[in-house]
Chains A and B, each alone.
Chain A
Amino acid sequence: MTDRERTTEQLITEKHTELLRQGFHLWPELKEGKPPAMGDYRWTADLILSTWLQAETGMPPTNGLEYRVGNSAGGFDVLDFKFPPEDRWLSSNVAINLSIPLNRRPYDRHIVIPIPFYGAGMSFGSISEQVMCARAKAAQTWQTFTCTGEGGYPESLFPYKDHVITQVATGMFGVREETIQNAPIVEFKYAQGAKPGLGGHLLGDKVTATVATMRESVPWVSLFSPFPFHSVYSVEDHKKHVDWIKTINPEALVSVKVSTPTDIDMVAVGSYYAGAHILHIDGSYGGTGAAPEIAKKTIAMPIEFAIPKVHRYLLQEGIRDEVVVMASGGIRTAYDIAKAIALGADGAVLGTTELVAVGCTRCSNCERGRGCPFGLCTTDPELSQLVETDWGAERLSKLYRSFQRQLSDILRRLGLASIRDLVGRTDMLIYRGHKGAR
C-alpha cells in the first residue's frame, strides 16, 4: 500500500512502530550511552538493553553490557557458578542436551520440551492479542509452551494450540470445555507471585468489548478473580479439580501454580499427591501485571529461597523423581534459569523477560489509562498495533536462541552434558555475598 492508500491511523502507527524499532536497535549499541532514567535494582538498564540486543541478534552482548545479573544485592544476583578449570570443560563436539520432561510420572502423556523454559500465564486483557500470539508463535517455533493466563482463549491462538497451556484460575474467566480439550497442559493457578493471596484484578479501562466477550463479562467494568478457589479447602478438593480436568481431557497434563508461603514445601507435597505433573512455584518478586506494591515486596518469599526448600523436601519424601518443578517470579536471564535449576528446579517459566524482549522498559505503567505505551500490556486498539505478531515472535525466538546458547555454554563449562544433571547441584554455585545494592 502507498501512503495515499493508508489511513491516518495506519500511518501514525507505522511511523511510531518504525521509530520504536529503530530505538530498540540503537540504544543497546550505546552510542547515546544508556537512558539515564532506565532500570531499577532488579532490572538494570544493562539487563533491559542486553535483552533487547539478544532479541535482535540471538546472541549475548559483546559490547560490555551486563547480561547475566542485576543489582539487587541478593538472590540470583549474589550467586555465581563455580566453573572448573578449562581442561575440565566439555569439548565443543559434545552435544549438550537442554531438554526437560514435563511429566515424570510413569503414566500419562509424556511431553519433552527442548529448552528448559516456557512462557508464563499472561491473560488476554492484561496483554494484547498480538503479544499473546507472538508468544504462542515463538513457543511453537521452539516446541515449548506459552500460557493463556486467566482471560480466555482467543481464536487467534488456535493455530498454536499444541503449545498453549490453558490456565484455570479462581475467576474461571474464559474457561470452557473446548479450551480444556484444546490444551496439552492445564494449569491451575492457586496463587501468583505478584499478588500472593490476593487474587487478580483487571482494571475497568482494559475490559474492552472484546475482552468482556471473551471473559463473559460487562465492558469497562473491573474484573476481580477472587482468592482463593472457593471450591478448594484441602488437597482432596484439589484432587477433585484435577479429576474434572481429566474427565474432560484425559490426555492433559496438570500443572499447579502456587506462590511461596513458609510452608511451600508442604504445598508441593500436597500438589503431588493430588495428581499434579508440574509444580509451578511463583516467587514474590516477579509478575507482569499490575499488583499492589505491598504484595510484591512483602508477601511470600522470593523464588531463590523457595526452590531449594521445595527440592529438598520432595527429595526427603522420595517423590522428587515424579514431579516436575518449574520456577518463576523474577527469572530474568539465562544465568538466572541455570541458577534456578542448580538450586533445585527442573526448569523456569518466563514472563517479564519476554515482555522486555518485545520492548518493555519496565516503567510500571501497565495499569495506567490506556495501558502500556509500547502496546504490550494494553487492549487499546491503537496502541496494540505497535507490536506485530511476527515481529514479536521473531524477537522472542532470538532471545530463546541466545538463552539456549548461554545455557549450553554454562553446562559445557561445568562439564555437564545435560541440563537434567544440573538439578539441585548447589555445589556448582558460589555465593558472592552482599555488596549492597548500588
Chain B
Amino acid sequence: MYHRYHIQTSLAPEVAPFPNRTRVKVKKPGLAMHLLEELVRYRRNPEVALSRPCVYGVFSGPVGGFAPREHSCVGCLRCTIEHPEMVQVYPNPEHQRLGDSYFTPEHVDTVCYEARTGRIPVKGAGYRGPFGGTGWDGMWTDMSEIVRPTRDGIHGREFISTAVDIGQKPPFLSFNEQGVATGESARTLSIPIPVLFDVPPPSVLSSKFLQVVVAAAQAAETLVVLPVWVLKRFALQGQQIVPLVTPEDPNALTDLHFTPRMIELEGMNEALFREIRMRFAESTICLRHDRVSRQELLEHYHAGIRVFHLVANYHGLGRDGRFVLDLIREAHRAFVEAGCRDEVTLLGSGGIIAAEHVPKAIICGLDAIALDTPLLVALQAQFLGECLAREGSRFRLPRRLSVNWGVQRVENLLASWRDQLLEVLGAMGLRDVRRLRGEIGRAMFQKDLEREAFFGIEGYDR
C-alpha cells in the first residue's frame, strides 16, 4: 500500500536554559524619573504614562522596566530607539559562547529553532550574513523562473521524493534469450530521507541518549551508526541500527542478535570484509573512510566495496586539512572518471551542520549525509571547548533529557531539514533528490562567479 513519507512534528521547547540573543539593561534611576515625568504629563490618563515601548512584552512584568523580561526580547531595538539614554540592548555574551568556532551561535540558534518547532526558519528584511566565504558559504544553488516539478504546491499534492538508495548497483542489466534477467542485480536498501545519524562521540554515550537516537532513527525510517561494543553494552538492536566494526575487534559481530541492513567497517581490512560479506550476505557493507585519494578509493572499489562513508572532522576538515566540500567533489569525480559512479554509494559526515549543507553536499556528489553535531545541538548538548575530532570532543547533554522529548526534537530537526531540501529541489524544478547527486551544474561557486563578473576590474587578479 502506498505510504507517503511524513515526519510528525510537534512543539518541543528547550528543557535546559537557552540564552537569549540579547540582554536588556535599563538605568533604573532614569526610568523612575521618566515615569514620574510621564505620570505628571499624562496625569489624567495613567494608561498613556504606563504604556511601554515593547510589543513583545519585555517590559510587561509587574514592575515593567525595573525587571525586564529578557527572554522575550527579539532585538527589535524599539525600546532603545525611544529611550537612548535609558535602555540599552546588547548582544548576550552567554549566547555568543554557544557552540564553537565552526558551529557558531547563529548555527546553534537555527538548529535549536528547527528542533523546537520542526519548521523552516523564516525571517524578514533580507539576508544578514557575510557575502560568501569559504566552504559551503561560497556556494549557491540554482533555481528556475518557470519550471516546477508539478504545479500542485510544495506542501500540497506536489510530490518530491527525498528517498535514496544505498548499496550495490550493477552498471547494466543482463538478460538471457528468454528475457529473464541474469547476472548481478542491484542490492540496495532505501531510506526515505538522505540523512543518517553518525556515530556519536564517546562523551555523550548514555542509555538515554542512545534510546533517543535509535527511536528517532526508527521513527524517521532512517539508520543510525553505532559501535558494536555500544550495541552489546546497552543491549540495542533493530533494523535501523548500523553496527560499526573496527579491524581491531574482528569478532565483534559474533554474538550480534539481529541481521543488520547495513554494517559499517572502520578502515579497510580485506579479510574482515570478506568474512562479514560471507556471514551477513543480506547486509550492505559500508567502508568508513577518512582519507580521500583517488587511488585508494578505486582500490577499495576493486576489492568489492560499494558503499563509502567519507568522514571529515566536526569542522569539516579531512586529514589533509581540505574542506569536506572539496573531498566530496574529488571522491565523486574519481568514480565518475573511472566509469563506476552509479555502482557505488557515497555517504558523508563532518562539517554538515545546517539544512543548506545537505543539498550542497549532494550536489557535490554525496548520495546521503550522516548527521553528527546537529543531533547533539538539537538535544541541547553544550560544547565544552572546541570540538573537532569525534573521540576527543566533549559535549554535555542536559540533565533533563527525556527520551520522548529527545525523539521529538530530532524528528522536528529532520522534518525542518527535509522541508528545506524540498524548497531547494522545488526551486530547481527537480522532483527526486537522486537527480541532484553530482549535478554540479546546479551549483554556483563564488570563485567562478566572481571571476566571470569581476574579470578585468583593477585589483582583481584571480
Taking beta carbons and an 8 Å cutoff, which residues of A are in contact with B? 3-4, 8, 11-12, 15-16, 19-20, 22-24, 26-27, 31-32, 35-38, 40-43, 72-75, 77-79, 82, 190-191, 194, 196-198, 201, 224, 226-230, 232-234, 237, 258-259, 261-262, 267, 284-302, 304-305, 307-309, 330, 343, 352, 355, 359-370, 373-374, 377, 383, 426-427, 429-433, 437
Q: For the complex, what is the distance from the CA of A123 to the CA of B210, rounded to whole Å?
A: 49
> With A72-B131, A363-B74, A431-B459 in contact, do A309 and B44 touch (Cβ < 8 Å)?
no
Q: Which residues of A contact B442 (CB under 8 A)?
A: 262
Q: Which residues of A contact B339 (CB under 8 A)?
A: none
Identify the closest chain B residue to A298 (Cβ): B356
Q: How far is the CB of B76 from chain A (nearest CB, A)?
A: 4
User: Could you give, for residues 30-73 of chain B, a 1 whenever the CB lies within 8 Å of some chain A CB and a 0 otherwise?
Assistant: 00000000100010110110010111100000000000000000
Q: List 15 A–B pairs whose Cβ atoms lie within 8 Å, in order of A's numbering.
A: A23-B82, A35-B89, A37-B77, A73-B131, A82-B458, A198-B427, A201-B122, A261-B143, A299-B423, A302-B132, A309-B453, A365-B124, A366-B124, A366-B125, A367-B123
B67-113 CB contacts (< 8 Å) to partner A: 74-78, 80-85, 88-91, 110
The answer to whether B126 has its CB under 8 Å from any CB of chain A is yes
> With A73-B131, A74-B446, A431-B460 in contact, do A373 and B76 touch (Cβ < 8 Å)?
yes
Q: Which residues of A contact B74 (CB under 8 A)?
A: 363, 365, 368
Which of these, A285, A305, A363, contacts B127 with CB under 8 Å?
A: A285
User: Could you give, for residues 145-171 of chain B, a 1 whenever the CB lies within 8 Å of some chain A CB and a 0 otherwise?
Assistant: 111100101100000000000000000
> With A77-B131, A298-B140 in contact, do A373 and B122 touch (Cβ < 8 Å)?
no
Contact between chains at B55 and A20 (CB < 8 Å): no
Q: How far is the CB of A331 from chain B (nearest CB, A)?
A: 11
Q: Which residues of A contact B110 (CB under 8 A)?
A: 293
> Of residues B42, B90, B127, B142, which shows the largest number of chain A Cβ atoms within 10 Å of its Cβ?
B127
Contact between chains at A299 and B140 (CB < 8 Å): yes
Contact between chains at A4 and B131 (CB < 8 Å): no
The 8 closest A-B pairs by CB, nearest first: A74-B131, A197-B427, A366-B124, A23-B81, A197-B143, A431-B459, A40-B128, A437-B130
Identify the closest chain B residue to A356 (Cβ): B125
The answer to whether B299 has its CB under 8 Å from any CB of chain A is no
Q: How far is the CB of B362 from chain A (nearest CB, A)?
A: 13
Q: Which residues of B contact A369 (CB under 8 A)?
A: 55-56
Q: For the complex, what is the distance from the CA of A24 to the CA of B77, rounded to whole Å?
A: 12
Q: For the complex, what is the distance from the CA of A304 to the CA of B130, rounded to whole Å?
A: 14
Contact between chains at A432 and B78 (CB < 8 Å): no
B294-350 CB contacts (< 8 Å) to partner A: none
> With A267-B145, A304-B453, A308-B453 in contact, do A363 and B55 touch (Cβ < 8 Å)?
no
Contact residues on B (Cβ < 8 Å of other chain), bracket? 35 or more
Q: Which residues of A contact B153 (CB under 8 A)?
A: 224, 226
Which of these, A20, A298, A301, contacts B82 with CB under 8 Å?
A: A20
Q: A11-B42, A23-B84 are in contact. List 5 more A-B contacts (CB 8 A).
A: A37-B22, A228-B144, A292-B420, A297-B129, A300-B140
Which of these, A36, A288, A302, contacts B124 with CB under 8 Å?
A: A288
Contact between chains at B126 and A194 (CB < 8 Å): yes
Q: For the complex, what is the distance from the CA of A81 to the CA of B89, rounded to whole Å?
A: 36
Which of these, B76, B122, B428, contacts A363 with CB under 8 Å?
A: B76
Contact between chains at A15 and B48 (CB < 8 Å): yes
Q: How far is the CB of B278 from chain A (nearest CB, A)?
A: 45
Contact between chains at B120 and A296 (CB < 8 Å): no
Q: For the complex, what is the distance from the CA of A24 to the CA of B84, rounded to whole Å?
A: 10
Q: For the complex, what is the distance from the CA of A74 to the CA of B449, rounded to whole Å?
A: 12
Identify the closest chain A residue to B448 (Cβ): A305
Q: For the complex, what is the distance from the CA of A36 to the CA of B426, rounded to whole Å?
A: 39
Which of these, A36, A300, A305, A367, contacts B122 with CB under 8 Å?
A: A367
The answer to whether B433 has its CB under 8 Å from any CB of chain A is no
Contact between chains at A8 and B84 (CB < 8 Å): no
Identify the closest chain A residue to B143 (Cβ): A197
Q: For the complex, what is the distance from the CA of A362 to the CA of B133, rounded to whole Å?
A: 22
Q: For the complex, what is the distance from the CA of A281 to the CA of B48, rounded to whole Å?
A: 47
Contact between chains at B81 and A361 (CB < 8 Å): yes
Q: For the complex, what is the distance from the CA of A197 to the CA of B425, rounded to whole Å?
A: 9
The answer to whether B17 has its CB under 8 Å from any CB of chain A is no
Q: How far is the CB of A284 from chain B (nearest CB, A)?
A: 7
Q: For the complex, what is the distance from the CA of A201 to the CA of B155, rounded to whole Å?
A: 13
Contact between chains at B146 and A226 (CB < 8 Å): no
Contact between chains at B88 and A36 (CB < 8 Å): yes
Q: For the complex, what is the distance from the CA of A214 to the CA of B30, rounded to whole Å?
A: 46
Q: For the complex, what is the distance from the CA of A47 to the CA of B272, rounded to whole Å?
A: 62
Q: Which residues of A contact B271 (CB under 8 A)?
A: none
Contact between chains at A32 and B84 (CB < 8 Å): yes
Identify the closest chain B residue to A270 (Cβ): B145
Q: For the complex, what is the distance from the CA of A361 to the CA of B452, rounded to whole Å?
A: 34
Identify the closest chain A residue to B85 (Cβ): A32
The answer to whether B456 has its CB under 8 Å from any CB of chain A is yes
Contact between chains at B151 and A301 (CB < 8 Å): no
Q: For the complex, what is the distance from the CA of A201 to the CA of B120, rounded to whole Å?
A: 13
The answer to whether B181 has its CB under 8 Å from any CB of chain A is no
Q: Which residues of B contact A40 (CB under 8 A)?
A: 128-129
Contact between chains at A330 and B127 (CB < 8 Å): yes
Q: For the complex, what is the distance from the CA of A383 to the CA of B446, rounded to whole Å?
A: 41
The answer to whether B141 has its CB under 8 Å from any CB of chain A is yes
> With A19-B82, A197-B428, A293-B110 in contact, do A42 and B146 touch (Cβ < 8 Å)?
no
Q: Which residues of B contact A288 (CB under 8 A)?
A: 124-126
Which of these, B48, B53, B128, B453, contacts A343 with CB under 8 Å?
A: B453
Contact between chains at A294 and B458 (CB < 8 Å): no
Contact between chains at A24 and B81 (CB < 8 Å): yes
